[in-house]
Each structure stands twice: as C-alpha cells, then as structure tokens.
Structure 1
C-alpha cells in the first residue's frame, strides 16, 4: 500500500513527465523507512521470555503485557540449611538457590511496570506487593539512564553499558524455590504511554515523523516488532478503521469516516483528446476469492492480557477464513467490531469502479472517500494522471455503525492477593509422632493476616539476639488465630458436650470443619490453645473469620495441667504436620530462651517471637489413676511414645529407665518424698508413724515420672487413709 501511495507523490510534484522519477523517489523512501519486506508484528512473539542473540525487542505503546529478553544474568547462588538429627529424625541438608538477572522490556522508553507474572503466576501485584522474595530495580530507558551498580560490580564499570533508550528490569537475588530452582519465564504489565494510544501516534513514533495522523482509532496497548514499519502499519490497517494517504510531504493516517468528495455525473468521462470516453467502468470480483469468516486474535486486558479471539461470519459453510494476529491490547467489544468491519469491507470491496476525471481533481488522494453520481461512498484505491486526465480506481465500502457487544473468553485469572504481614507462633509440643525425641525442639507455625501470604525466612538466636542462625523458610501456612472467649475447665475422660470456645482466624481463606468421632480417635482436629492441646468435633461458623468450637476432647497428649489456666485472647493453632517447622536445639538449652525472627516479603520489619525451651517432647506425660489400695499408693504411667490404643498391653516405657518422684503430704504430720522405679509405694502404719501421720485421715499425694528431659507435670490427688 505504501509503495502505491508514494509513487503518486512523484506524479503530483513533477507532473506527467516527472511521474517516473517520482516513482523511483517514492520507492527509495519506501525502502528507507517503510521496508518492502512486510514482516510485521505477531502475537506469539510476546508470550515467551527469550535470551537469544539477535532477538528483536518490541517497542511498546500504551499498556501491554509482554515477555522480556534476558540480557544479563549471574550464576545461581546456593545456600544450605541443616535441620533434624535427633533420634528418629535424620539430619537433613536442604538447598535454596537465587539468581540475579536483567530483562529487557521495550526498545523505547516506558513510564512504569505494574504487575509481573512468573511462569503464569503473579510475582508482583497491582499494589506493587511481591509474592516471592527478590530485589528489583526498573530502568525506564531514558537517555540519561545510569549504569546498574550490581552489573557494574560483576562486569566492571568500563564493561557495563547503561542500555540508554532500552527499558529493562533488574532482579537481584531472586529466590528460585517456587520455580524449580531455575529462572522462570517472566511477563510484565508495562505502561509506556498513559492511557490508550492512537494509531497516528504509533505511526509517527515508528516512522520518526514521516507519518502523522489525527484519528480516533486507538489501542489500549501495542507492541511493535518485526523488520518493517510498513508491516506494522499494514497489520493495524487490516484490523482498525483507518485510512492512509499522502499530502505530498508525508503519509497521513485518518479516520475512514471523513466526509466523501461528491463527484457529479457531469464531471466524469474526461479524455485527453477531448472526446467523450467511458463514463464509468464497473467490475465485480469473484466470491470464491473472499473469506467467509474473519478472526482477530488479540490480548484482552480484562483477562490479564490472555489471548482472545473474536470472529465475524457471513453464514454458509465458513471454510475460507482470514486470521489477523494483532499484538495489541483491545477491549472485547472493539475486537468484535473490528472483525465485523473487516469482513464487511472485504465483501463491499468486490464492487470496483473506474472513473476518468479532469486534472482539476488532483487533490483527491488514495485512501480518501468519494461519492460518484450520488451513489454510495467508495474508497479511492488507485490514482493515475495521464495527459491531464485523472484516472481513479474506487472500491466499495461497508457502511453503518457496528455494534460492540461480545462476550470475553473464559480462562483462569491469577488472583492478585497481597502477601501481607507474617504471624508466627512458637509451640513447645509434646511428641506428635510414633518415635520419641532425644533433643529439645521448638515448633514454628506461621501464616499471614492476608490470604496471599506464602512463607517467610526464619532465623533463631539462643543468646538474646547477639548472633542468629538461619533455618530456611517456614513450612506451609498454618491455620492460626486467637480465642475470643475463655476455654472453660474440662475433663479428659469424655467428650465435652457443654464447653465451647470461640476463635477468630487470621485471614478469610482459613476455614475450620467438624469431624466425626472416628476421625477424632485417629487424631483429627488437634489444636493448641494456650498450652493445652484439644480436639474439636464441631466448628460452627459465626460470620467473618469467627468459629465456635464444641464437642471437645481436652488435655490431649498429657496437657491436662493447662486446662485450668485459660484466658481470652490466647493463641489458637491447628496442629498439622505439614504446617509445622521444628527447630532442633542443644540439650543444654533446656530452660533457656529462644528468639525466632521471621521476614516475609510483606513484612516492613522482622517479626519476632520468644519462648522458654520447656522440652515438652522430652518429658513424659503425668501419670494417671492415682489411688490408694490397702495402704499401697498406686498409679498408672503413661508414655510419650504410647498414644495409640493398645489392647491387652501396657504402653511402652519410652524412657531409658522407669523412675518416679512421689511426694506424700499427710493432713497431720511431715511430708515424705521418695524416688521409685515402680508405679506403686506401700505407705503402711510404720511409715505413717515415722512421719507423725498415724492419726491423719487423708493424704495429699503427687507423683511425677522422671524422663530424659526432666520430670513430668504432677499427678495430684487427695487420698483417704
């Protein structure tokens, strides 16, 4: 199209004699900035991140989602984290990796980068929040662009370009754990010009001012690629209602809706020899050469810039299809209207008319509209001046306004949920597995106050923060919250059908569900409130993030001593193995303090928590069934390795030796403390007399089992002599 139009410029400037010279001149201009190779932009070039030498970079206009080109990268950086090593839990070493790299975005300056996707998942949200940990710097592509300090530190200042005129993003220590320890394929929502951009502005920028335009046709975004400005403009002209014509010095892009030039019947039929020639020639093209369907492929901003397709059909079998790949962001209704207009224009252009006019109509240009003898408006497609006679070629045009009603495609949109700050709890848990621990542990549960939270990096200190040891990332997000009411005292033997407790969870994505008795027996719905482990059979939603828990099993895993010390506002954590991270601590740390620091991508400052190292996993649970039978005080031991129901057998000892500390305080007389290796003690008449307790009607008795990590909580009872 451009070659045809520019050829006419020579005829206008040099007249009939200079027409040939003008044609040559027009061809030279065409080769200079409208390259004759018509390789325009394509949709697929924007979908996959590349790093190949010679890869063309797009020039971005408006707001687009594009894949970048990696232009610089470091080797992967490896970090090691060691965990485990206790009995039944082998020491393991985990590795995490990060990388630093730069990604080119646009071969012309941009204004901003908004959302970023990594392997199709949001890495950065619309609010500028990050979903994974990384350093980030954006270079807008201005001519005063500075050298990046990281690239300069690696390559040397003298070897580091500033990439002026090239917009690019720099990622520093990008954490790769979420992406298989590799650099993911990144796509960026880039804002190059504020708001929609007109086709005239695109053409003027790409042609360095050799094309201009004042048109209402605009795109939300466009990525110009390929090896030809001509190819870009032709791609746009196929899909958008614009007209391209020359004014003698430059090409003009205008709306097709320009008022047509009226040509009366008396004006047509001019000839060079003064004789009256054919007034008008009319041709009609074959329908077999025309498509029955036009399909436009584009990007839909409302669907995170996923590829959309809108069709226009004439009816019939629809076997001939013209497919237009438009690498532009476009509203669905406008894409539908563009497909309809393209199809109608192609069929209307079957009607081709030729007229011969006087040289006085030299102002007409290809691309303008004309009306011959009061007929329908037609588009000027050809222009020849021979011996002062103007020979015009015209083609039919579609008329009327086109509707813009269309349904967008489906597709799965990546939810944009801010990461939010971290919430953390340190739990001193009794054994939760079939094996017993030999070293103390503190368990870390973490979640976020917003649903988008994923994880945080952890480190701990045993010396009050003087030094810290990294322990890697948190486990999967836990279900956490706080109690709104006080958990009342209860009993450990039966399901509590009366007591309830209300809890508020940390974020709206967390849910609690009830479980039946069989599931409870198998350990379902185990939760820690304060220092007590409970199980709940019902979880009734109260609205928002609140639940009422009932049908409670109390004092689980030997935590019944904590049943009477509850308060409102205590921490609530659902105990699930995949959401808990154990921190292995040295045996000498028992009784001391551990400080844990968490830093997530949504935390403005580190989140701190502290706990006393009580070593609950190393201490046996308190004995039960404390009683007196024929002057013999008896009890039943429990085991930190014996929570499963065993028919006809005692629970395993779970300790290196069986040891107890018994304290007898008679109502009258002296207190007696004894160390034992069996679960009974004869407190007969001789022992009572020695303690001055012969007349005592009752005894206050407590017994503790002594284990690897110290003594259990006491089993306490008042026994009648």
Structure 2
C-alpha cells in the first residue's frame, strides 16, 4: 500500500521519474512493513478448534463454509431442575436432578448465511437436516448491521445493557439440557455457512484488502477460509502464499498475481560499463530449498478435521517446510497446493539481477518479465535506482498449479441419524414384578427415525384439566401397530395356528426368535392391544413389517382380551429397560389417563391414553370352574385360585396367595330370575339339590386387597326343556 501512495505522490511532485522513485521507496516500505515475509503470524489451525470465553479473543472473519469453535460471549449459571417420583407403598420415593444452561457463542466477525451441523464434545448436537439431538432452544443472529439484541440476553441483563453485536454473527442456546454432557456446557463447534459454494482465494484477499487489492486472474478455489491472526496483512499473505502469488504495485491498488502469465520483455542490454558487474545470475545450492513440504489444512470430507498433505522432491537436501492454511480444502486440492509450493521454492533458487537504463523506471515491483536469452517467466522481486541505472532483482516463476490425486484417509464421522417423530403407547401394566399397591401405568415410546432417543412425559388423570411432569422415557422401545390381528385361541395351549402381522415404527427396530426355555424365562413378551402374549418366531416381511407366530396367549391374566384386537391396535415389545413405569394415585382406577410425550425433534407432543381398570392391583380371574355331584345329591362348584404374586408353578401344589386373605364372591344367577350373592373362604361352594335346580350359572371373583378379580363363569344347565 505504501508503494501505491508514494508512487502517486512522487508522480505529482516529479513526474514519471519522481513516481518511479516514490514507487521504489514505497516498495521497500511494503516489503518491510506491509508484506514483510519474516515473522508473520497468520491464521493457525488450532485457533478454530478450541472454544474460548476470554476477553480479547479474536473472532475470525469466515468465508465459504468452515467449522469453528467460536467464543462464548454470554452465559447464565446452570439451572437445576428436580423431579420426584413416588416409589409406591413401602418403597422410597426417587428424586432426580437435571441441569440446563443458556449461553451465546460468537462465530464470525463478518455476516454469515446460516449454520449447518453443530458438534458438542465431538458428537453431533445438530444434524444435517437441522434436527437437534438434545433438547434446546436455538437462535442465530447472522451479523447484519440492523440486527437487534437477543431477547433472552436482554431479559437477563436489561435491554439498555445488551449490545446487538451488529456485524458479529453469533448463536444463542436457550436451556440446553446438559445431561448428555456431564452436566456442564460442552465444547461446541459449528459448521458455519458464510457464503454459498466454494470461492476463489483471490476474492477473499480482495475483501480483506477493502478495495486496495485487485484480483485480475483466477486463483485457487477454497471451500472455506477463516481470516484471523496478527493482522489483515498476515491473513492476506497466507492466502497469497497458498496460491503461489505475489503483489504488483499499481497506481491505485496492489494486484495479486500468481504463476505464468502476460510478461514484459526485457533485453538486459545494460546501463553502461559502470554497472556491468551488477548484472549477474545466481543459483542457490539445492540444499537451501526444502526437500519436503507439509501442508496442514481442514478437510470438509472428514468433518473438517485437520488434514495433512506432504510433497517431496527428488534430489539433495534435508530441509523441511510446513505451511498452515486455515482453510477448508479437499485432499486433492491440498496436495496440489503442497506440490506447487514445493516446486516454487525450488525454482526460486535461481535469481537474475538486471541493470537497465533509467528510462526503465516504469517496470514495477512484482511485474512479470521475460529476459532475453533466459528461459521461462520471471518476476521483479526487488527494484532499486543507482547512478541513474535501474537494477532489477528477478526471481524465476514456477509453472502453474500441479495437478494430482490425493486421499484424505479414512474417516469415521459422528453419526447423523434422523430422529423422526415420537410414537407413544400407554397402558395399564399387568402384574410383572413385586406386588403393586397403586395402579401402575406403563409408557413405551420410540421414534420413526433411527436416531430417536427419549421423550419428556406429561400425565393427566383428570381428562386434561391438569398435567404433571413424569420424567422421561428410558431407552427407545420397539413399538408399532397391528396389521393382521391374532384371532381367538385358548390361553392354556401354545397357539401354533394363528399369526400376527405387525408394522414397526422404524426400520431400525428389530425382533428376534426365542425357544421355549427363553419364552418361559419371559422373552418376547408383547402387549398386543390389551392382550399380553409371547411369540417364538419373528419373520421379517420387508417394509418394517414382521410376522409373529408360535404364540403363547393371554399371559399374566390378560386372557379376557384374547381375540379383541383390531388392525391399528398397539404393539409394544415389553423390555424393562425401555418402559417408563408410573405409579398413579388410587383414585385413578376407573379413569382415562392421558399421556403427552415430546422428544427434541417433535414440533407437537405425541398423545396416548389408557383406561385404568386396576389390573395391576386385583387378582387374576379364577381358573377351571367346574361342578361335581356329591353322594348326597348336592353339587359342589370348585375352581383353581390364581395369584398375581406367582405365575410359575414352582412347588407343583399351589400358587402363593398374594392377598391379605383368601376370599371369593359368588354371584348365582337364578333360573327364575334375579341373583344371589354369597362369599366363601375356600375355592369351592356347595349347593343342595334344591338350590342347584334353581341356579342357572355361577360367576366367581376372588376378593383381593384392592378389589375384585375379573370373573370366571360356569354355566349350570337346569335340565328343563
């Protein structure tokens, strides 16, 4: 820039000669002050990878698409949230804690177009589709000159104390859930889209130079670049070096040139005997040029991880050189830059000093020239005027960019799995474990995408008049819907006739076979409609559909629901680690309980409801009701007691009682009309001959601590007709 200023000033004062002299002085100033090659501190790769929160941290100007960590410019303290769940009678309650934080991260000192992916501690927080993997509010301020203060920061700090950060692109996270990150703010990095598509390195130089640099020729194209470092000069020099370029002094601006091109022919005809000794040709020893050159860069195909390309020349020498380019480039492009740079350093070992008459003052520093009797293109590296002779120190110009294929190596990117929408089912849980003392609701949820993880739950027991938080679902459940119902079959025998066809919510969900021993141990237990059953074989049909056969029906007292299923009914594979089990208040028995489930990918919560009948509290229906004629003509009605506290016939005698006392209620339907209700403490009741003739049917229910069991009915023919 000094060359331009002093050239113009010299021309105004002393005409063309004065302009040339001013340009000479300015060239020296430019080399020593503006574009001094030694000691420059340009953008470093590490500056973009480490998230900071320190005052005075430099914010880079981003071009193209880059991955940067940014600087935290505002944050709240962690906010603690607690959730208390009752453990039921005799069990302690559980209080769980979670934490959220809100903060803002500055990304670019130049406006941007948008944000792509976001990584948190190396894992994807936001995918390519814009879906967040953890719950958070998110806003992007792109850095326009008219952007307004962020409302969250303004609410916390006061509108008068909140800057709008105009010209700075920054992102705001509101209540980011921190459970996935060890309850701390994670180290974030952002795929920032500053400009659409790749851009020429020269275009970046032109913008950084703010009109002081002209770019008349094509330059290397970059996917992205982060301009930072000690000064604008440093960033510009790094880019110029990457393109193999240099600057030519002009009247109004500097011009970035690179490689061969249009050149001014020089005859080197001399400027008199006094300068003959100053005309010379020098070639430095091969050892003075690097034999290897390593280029460090960012590679988009590897999630912008730092990449290395190495170029090696044949011949003598042990020196090594390293270039750091805070730019996003593909592996082939980076290899070409490294090869070209190494070739340039080798070619520039040859220098020519020309002595020309004073009328050659118009030859500018940085000019391409050809020299009579010398091969190739040269550039004017230094320019000085001595005794009315113009001495030009010229450096050989390397050939154009060298092409070559390269690989960035294997990459294991952070998985970007679509989460899809939440599918939720709620149902009263039959007795599966320890005896329940309050109604128990099971909630199973999964997603239509393979990346779905969990959903927050709200529960209402008063038809939506009020809602209570119920924590979150655990790991994803295997859920779906019935396509072909299983039909009717006895609960006492394995059903080898019927089959069920189900469609799962996601193609990532799988079902497996189980042998008899595994089934007896509880494998492949599924809630199909209101029937709990097991299946031995699962055959994939394609399109997320499976056929299930080898069925064990009506498990855990759900035999009344056998055959009640219809297409579209729920299918849930019951796995303890995938079920959220909620204790409901006792008054919820008989009510319709509503559930809302919302994951981070849902715009609206998914809904489910369940009719709570108390099946988790009352004994199962008695089994095997029968009548037997006694010797005295009376009739004994008997049945087998069942228990919600022991489903395996361990001792071969009887199941454990599971209730406070053994009692039964019999409702006798009279042949003449009406009913008669009696109670007994044993699983039998005797009718005398007269009572037997007057009774048409008997309905038997066990009296449990929390209510009556479902009925078992025995028809008693009267012999009439």
Query: Normalised by the size of structure 2, how large is the TM-score?
Result: 0.90
Say if 2:3 and 2:26, in contact at 8 Å, map to a contact too.
no
Give 1:56 deviation, angstroms.
1.1
Residues of 1 paired with 2:408 and 2:364: CA distance? 39
Give the direction of change, closer, same or farther, for the CA distance of 1:601–1:669 in structure 2 (3 Å limit): closer
1:602 maps to 601
2:449 maps to 450
Give 1:334 deviation, angstroms.
0.8
Give the direction of change, closer, same or farther, for the CA distance of 1:283–1:79 in structure 2 (3 Å limit): same
Give 1:69 deviation, angstroms.
0.7
Residues of 2 paired with 1:53 and 1:669: CA distance? 91
Give 1:439 deviation, angstroms.
0.9
1:704 maps to 701
Residues of 2 paired with 1:318 and 1:36: CA distance? 22
2:58 maps to 56
Verify: 1:689 aligned to 2:690, yes or no.
Answer: yes
Give 1:543 deviation, angstroms.
0.9
Residues of 1 paired with 2:228 and 2:217: CA distance? 22
Say if 2:137 and 2:176, in contact at 8 Å, map to a contact too.
yes
The SS at the match of 2:345 is helix
Residues of 2 paired with 1:420 and 1:496: CA distance? 36
Which stretch of structure 1 is more off in the superposition, 64-73 or 413-422? 413-422
Match of 2:642 among 613, 638, 643: 638
Residue pairs, 1:94-243, within 5 angstroms: 94-217=96-219, 218-243=221-246
Say if 1:34 and 1:228, in contact at 8 Å, map to a contact too.
no
Verify: 1:483 aligned to 2:482, yes or no.
Answer: yes
Give 1:144 deviation, angstroms.
1.9
Give the direction of change, closer, same or farther, for the CA distance of 1:383–1:317 in structure 2 (3 Å limit): closer
Give 1:528 deviation, angstroms.
0.7
Residues of 1 paired with 2:69 and 2:186: CA distance? 11
Residues of 1 paired with 2:661 and 2:3: CA distance? 101
Say if 1:441 and 1:584, in contact at 8 Å, map to a contact too.
yes
Residues of 1 paired with 2:398 and 2:35: CA distance? 31
1:513-537 per-position Cα deviation (integer Å, ceiling 9, x unaligned): 2223322221111111001111122
Give the direction of change, closer, same or farther, for the CA distance of 1:317–1:35 in structure 2 (3 Å limit): closer
1:472 maps to 471
Give the direction of change, closer, same or farther, for the CA distance of 1:4–1:21 in structure 2 (3 Å limit): closer
Say if 2:592 and 2:610, in contact at 8 Å, map to a contact too.
yes
1:715 maps to 712
The SS at the match of 1:498 is strand
Residues of 2 paired with 1:17 and 1:4: CA distance? 10
Residue pairs, 1:466-545, within 5 angstroms: 466-545=465-544
Give 1:430 deviation, angstroms.
0.8
Give the direction of change, closer, same or farther, for the CA distance of 1:290–1:25 in structure 2 (3 Å limit): closer
Give the direction of change, closer, same or farther, for the CA distance of 1:28–1:643 in structure 2 (3 Å limit): same
Give 1:275 deviation, angstroms.
6.8
Gaps of 5+ in 1: none
Residue pairs, 1:268-347, within 5 angstroms: 268-273=268-273, 276-277=276-277, 280-287=280-287, 289-314=288-313, 320-347=319-346
Give 1:642 deviation, angstroms.
1.1
1:463 maps to 462
Give 1:645 deviation, angstroms.
5.0
Give 1:51 deviation, angstroms.
0.7
Say if 1:10 and 1:25, in contact at 8 Å, map to a contact too.
no
Give 1:60 deviation, angstroms.
0.8
Say if 1:465 and 1:595, in contact at 8 Å, map to a contact too.
yes
1:676 maps to 680
Give 1:651 deviation, angstroms.
2.7
The SS at the match of 1:499 is strand
Residues of 2 paired with 1:657 and 1:320: CA distance? 93
Give the direction of change, closer, same or farther, for the CA distance of 1:391–1:618 in structure 2 (3 Å limit): same
Give the direction of change, closer, same or farther, for the CA distance of 1:172–1:255 in structure 2 (3 Å limit): same
Say if 2:224 and 2:328, in contact at 8 Å, map to a contact too.
yes
Say if 1:12 and 1:248, in contact at 8 Å, map to a contact too.
no
Give 1:327 deviation, angstroms.
1.2
Give the direction of change, closer, same or farther, for the CA distance of 1:159–1:37 in structure 2 (3 Å limit): farther
Give 1:114 deviation, angstroms.
2.5
Say if 1:269 and 1:278, in contact at 8 Å, map to a contact too.
no
Residues of 1 paired with 2:427 and 2:227: CA distance? 57
Say if 1:242 and 1:253, in contact at 8 Å, map to a contact too.
yes
The SS at the match of 1:214 is coil
Residues of 1 paired with 2:9 and 2:386: CA distance? 13
Give the direction of change, closer, same or farther, for the CA distance of 1:38–1:106 in structure 2 (3 Å limit): same
Which stretch of structure 1 is more off in the superposition, 467-476 or 356-365? 356-365
Residues of 2 paired with 1:666 and 1:496: CA distance? 36
1:411-466 per-position Cα deviation (integer Å, ceiling 9, x unaligned): 22223334332211111111222x11111121111122222323222212222222
Verify: 1:425 aligned to 2:461, yes or no.
Answer: no
Give the direction of change, closer, same or farther, for the CA distance of 1:342–1:594 in structure 2 (3 Å limit): same
Give 1:101 deviation, angstroms.
1.1
Say if 1:431 and 1:640, in contact at 8 Å, map to a contact too.
yes
2:655 maps to 651
Give the direction of change, closer, same or farther, for the CA distance of 1:341–1:494 in structure 2 (3 Å limit): farther
Residues of 2 paired with 1:319 and 1:6: CA distance? 42
Which stretch of structure 1 is more off in the superposition, 464-473 or 236-245? 236-245
Say if 1:485 and 1:503, in contact at 8 Å, map to a contact too.
yes
1:86-135 per-position Cα deviation (integer Å, ceiling 9, x unaligned): 13643101122212111111112222222222222222233333322222
Say if 2:240 and 2:256, in contact at 8 Å, map to a contact too.
no
Verify: 1:558 aligned to 2:560, yes or no.
Answer: no
Give the direction of change, closer, same or farther, for the CA distance of 1:34–1:471 in structure 2 (3 Å limit): farther
Say if 2:82 and 2:96, in contact at 8 Å, map to a contact too.
yes
2:399 maps to 399
1:342-371 per-position Cα deviation (integer Å, ceiling 9, x unaligned): 122222223333333344444444444433
Residues of 1 paired with 2:316 and 2:425: CA distance? 66
